[in-house]
Each structure stands twice: as structure tokens, then as C-alpha cells.
Amino acid sequence: MSEHVHEHEHEHIHEHEHEHGHGHAHPHVHSHEHTAAVLNRLARASGHLEAVRRMVADGRDCSEVLIQLAAVRSALASTSKLILKDHMEHCIVDAIEEHDETALKELERAIDSLLK
């Protein structure tokens, strides 16, 4: 197992652990410029979903609940796009530079899952 640390102009660090030949995942720990925005969006979406749960518990109109659920879904989709953008701009750029086909396959799998 080898470990790599990458520093870039855009103020983030990647710490990769590569396991070769065993078919294991390609874990890496990193912090991107959008991490705070992603966490903020997830907190808001979580709070919004909790409000929808209370709406259902309170017997609110189904149309209102569905509209609010659509808003939560939209917020999560927007957050997913931001994470994907960060991933493409940083992790995938590194993977291409390192000829890391595992990371590219993982991206393909993640996009397939996201689009289901």
C-alpha cells in the first residue's frame, strides 16, 4: 500500500491510499474549497426534510407535502452537482495525471448511481 499527498493551488489536500491488485476501493481523504458550502446545504436540506416529516405528522395537505419534498429533492440534487464538480476538478484531475483507472471507474459508478 502506498500513500500520496497532493497539494494544489486551489487550497486542498488529497491523501490517497492505493491498494493495488486486490479490487478494493480507492479511499482518499480530502478537503475542497466547497466543503463548507456542501455541509451548509446538507444541513439545510436535513432541516427542510424534518419540517416535511412534521407536516406529514400534523396531517398537512398532501399537495403541500409533495411540493416541499420536491424542494428537498432539488436541494439534494444541487448539492450532488456541487460535490461532483469538486470531484471532477480535483480528484479526477489527479487520477488522470496518475493514470488511476480505478478512480475513473468509481466516478462512472457514482454517476450511474446518481442518475438512477
pLDDT tens readout for residues 57-101: 999 999 999 999 999 999 999 999 999 988 888 888 888 888 999
Q: ∠ CA(84), CA(113), CA(77), 5° rounding?
A: 50
Nearby residues of 65 by Cβ (< 8 Å), 6 or more positions away: 52, 55, 56
pLDDT digits (tens, 9 = 90+) for 22-56: 444 545 566 677 889 999 999 999 999 999 999 99
- pLDDT at residue number 90: 84
Pairing of strands 2-7, 28-31: unpaired
